[in-house]
Structure formats: C-alpha cells, structure tokens
Structure 1
Amino acid sequence: MTALPEDSWLLGIRPQPAPVTAEEYDALSEEIAKAIEIVDGYVVYCAVPAPDHQTCARRLADMLERHARAAMSGGHDCFTVNTDVDLRLRDLPLLNRRPDVALYRCLDRGRGERLRAEHTLLVVEIVSPGSETQDTTDKLGEYAKAGIPHYWIVRLDRTGVSIIERYRLDRALMLYKHTGTFMKEEPGGAPTVGTPILMEIDWAELQF
C-alpha cells in the first residue's frame, strides 16, 4: 500500500464527531451559518459563489420580487423574495439548505418564525461548476420530499441566464415533474408562467 505524503490535504480530513442538532445550528453565528448547509446533520461547506452567479441570483430575485409585488397589489397574500436564505427542510435529522433564491409567504418575525418548507412557494438553484449533482439530483429530491411546490434549475452562459428548467410537485408521489424548459435562444419573446404567481421572463433583465 502506498503511504500518503505527510503534506497531503487528505490527512486533514477528519470525520465529524456527531450530527449537528437543530438547537446547535440555531446557536451558530450568522457568519458561520452562511458558510454551510446541513444535510442529515452533517456539515456541507458552501463555496463563495462566483460574481456572475451572484449577479444572476440578484437579478432573478429582483424579477421575482417585482412580480410578487404585482401579485400582492392584485389581492394575493404577502410574499417575500430573498437570496441565499436560510431554509429549514427538516429538524431531525437536521436538513438545512440555503437556496440561491426563494419566494415564500411573509413570516411573522415578531414571533421568531423561521423559514420552513411549508412557507416556501418556489426555490431556485443556479448551477455552478461542482454543484451539478447537488442541484439536479440531491436538492431536487430534498425540496420535493419537503413539499415545496415549485423548483427551478437555472443555467448560465457567458452573458447571463440562458436556461430555466421548471419543476412542479406531484403531491401524490411527492416528486417533481418537469413542466418545461425556457431557453434564451428560443423565438417568441418573453415566456410567461402562471404559477406560483404570474410572471414574465424578461431575458434582458437576467443578463450581465
């Protein structure tokens, strides 16, 4: 057997001594919590998104928020849109994700209400190098099992958002079904969706 060199980064890997509980996570500082996700009680470190990724997340959030405000002015409930938001999917074992963008019903902050799956209408994940499996397989299953009605997988090209894959929850199976893919190159102008709120996808708004 070949021994690892003493300076190998593999030697620095150590097993987590015990799963993180919901109470332990809630006690973390915001600075630490923003750098990690918790999957089945185990810490997953989140790399800082590239500037293009952050720009597109912000522009997607701006687009969603504009349509959410229009929906609210039309008599809908109160909606909130956030980027990199702390989302509790399950307490035991702890499953805590930080989607790139989330649209959810307004929380009662006065009562210390935390964002959970039952508040959430749509989560959006932007695929980055290294996140393909998490975004298209792991989170696809986790968000569906948690009961979040809508999930978008977003892909970028050199000029901004180029593809939006849309999924809707089949509540009988608690699995997502693909409902369509919008592609920037397709003719026909700005596509629209009716759920979870009425939205028009303005590609120009989602470019760098």
Structure 2
Amino acid sequence: MTALPDDSWLLSIRPQPAHVTAEEYEALPEEIAKAIEIVDGYVVYCAAPTPDHQTAGRRLANILERHARAAMIEGHECVTVNNDVDLRLRDLPLLNRRPDVALYRCLDRERGERLRAEHTLLVVEIVSPGSETQDTTDKLGEYAKAGIPHYWIVRLDRTGVSIIERYRLDRAAMLYKHTGTFMKDESGGAPSVSNPIPIVIDWSELQF
C-alpha cells in the first residue's frame, strides 16, 4: 500500500461510514489524492505501481500521444493523453478513478474544466497482481456505465506488454463488448485499430 503523509486528513474529512463528497476530495493535497481512488464515496488506497507497471504505462501513453497528434493533423478534434489522471465518473455518490492511461478530448483550461467520462475516448488499465478483479470486473462495469467508448486491459510478462484486450461500449446496453485481443507472440506484425483514433501497436516500443 502507498504510505500516506499523514492520516489525520481522513479524520478531518469524515468519521466512518459517511461518504467523501466531491468538495472534500477536491480539497485534498495532490500527494494524497494521487494515492487514492474514491468508489461510491469511500476511499480506496492504491498500491504504488511497480517500475515495470510505470514503464508500460508511460510507453503506452507515448504511442497513443503520437497517434493522437497524427489524427489531429488529419482533422480530428483536439485530443490529449495522460498517465494516472484524475477521472470523475460520478459526483453522487462520488466515483473518482485514476486510470493508468487515458485518451480524452482537450479540456478548457481557462474554465478549469475537470476531466469527466464525457470527455474520455479510451481508458487503459494495466493489470497488477492485486488489481485483477478491479481491472477486469469493477472498472469494466464502471467505465461502461459512465459511457466511455473504449476500454483496454493490458497484461505484462517479464519482457513488457504481452496482451491488450480491447472492449467497445454497446450504448444500447451500456456494457462493453470484447472486440479482440492483441497478443505479442502472434504473427502478423504490428496490429492496428481505427477507433477511437487510428493506432498502430509496435510491440518493440512496449518491451522493457
């Protein structure tokens, strides 16, 4: 678990079992907010990512950012990419996640616009030993219910990213449908997708 600088902040927010509100969450210091997620108003502590997890997230973000820039040159709306970004899925009860990678429409910085589900085109979660259920069940349902069009679940082996499971939102059911799995060891070169933007996965860029 990530060590928090001072647990007195929790007592100042609420005694259990009252919910953390959006206003209380937004008042937290950044170093504390980065160490937690809020699910149905309750604090969920986030384990510190391993170096391999961080490397994979950074390299995936680099690939997505490069293709986002290419898409914008071709006329796509402004989009950007970030790692470990604060994503508001719901205000009541508060549901705030920090996906490993997110591709989203550019925000209005002058208005202080917060990243919400309606801005987000793709979220990526990298599975860690302790996050299997969260990434493959809990977040799969939460991101779908929030209306995020695309979700990728990424798995690692000892040499880097080895599997990318891709899901696309069925808006009629508000559930994700599995649209395919890219596997590093499959022949056929660099796989690609056309949505939410054209992306080519170069496995060599995702190795440690």
Could you tell me how far apart the structure 2 residues matched to 1:20 and 1:159 are? Answer: 40
Q: Equivalent residues in 2 for 1:80-91 (5 A)?
A: 80-91=80-91
Q: Equivalent residues in 2 for 1:13-52 (5 A)?
A: 16-52=16-52
Could you tell me how far apart the structure 2 residues matched to 1:138 and 1:17 are? Answer: 21
Could you tell me how far apart the structure 2 residues matched to 1:124 and 1:16 are? Answer: 31
Q: Read off the aligned partner of 1:158 and give its amino acid letter.
A: R
Unpaired runs of 5+ residues, structure 1, are 1-14
State the Cα distance separating 1:16 from its structure 2 match.
2.6
Contact 1:64 1:81 in 2 (8 A): yes
Residues 1:173 and 2:192 aligned together: no
Could you tell me how far apart the structure 1 residues matched to 2:197 and 2:204 are? Answer: 20
Residue 156 of structure 1 is matched in structure 2 by 156
Could you tell me how far apart the structure 2 residues matched to 1:40 and 1:192 are? Answer: 36
**Which structure is larger by alpha-carbon Rg, 1 or 2?**
1
Classify the secondary structure of the residue corresponding to 1:109. Answer: coil
State the Cα distance separating 1:17 from its structure 2 match.
3.6
Q: Equivalent residues in 2 for 1:98-137 (5 A)?
A: 98-137=98-137
Q: Read off the aligned partner of 1:195 and give its amino acid letter.
A: N
Could you tell me how far apart the structure 1 residues matched to 2:78 and 2:94 are? Answer: 28
**TM-score when normalising by structure 2:** 0.92
| Pairs aligned (count) | 194
Could you tell me how far apart the structure 2 residues matched to 1:162 and 1:100 are? Answer: 16
Could you tell me how far apart the structure 1 residues matched to 2:20 and 2:160 are? Answer: 37
Classify the secondary structure of the residue corresponding to 1:93. Answer: coil
Deviations, residues 34-81 of structure 1 (Å, cap 9, x unaligned):
000000000000011000000000000000000000000111111110
Could you tell me how far apart the structure 1 residues matched to 2:30 and 2:88 are? Answer: 15
Q: Read off the aligned partner of 1:197 and give its amino acid letter.
A: I
**TM-score when normalising by structure 1:** 0.92
State the Cα distance separating 1:18 from its structure 2 match.
1.2
Could you tell me how far apart the structure 2 residues matched to 1:88 and 1:171 are? Answer: 20
Classify the secondary structure of the residue corresponding to 1:110. Answer: coil
Contact 1:144 1:169 in 2 (8 A): yes
Identity %: 87
Could you tell me how far apart the structure 2 residues matched to 1:149 and 1:18 are? Answer: 32
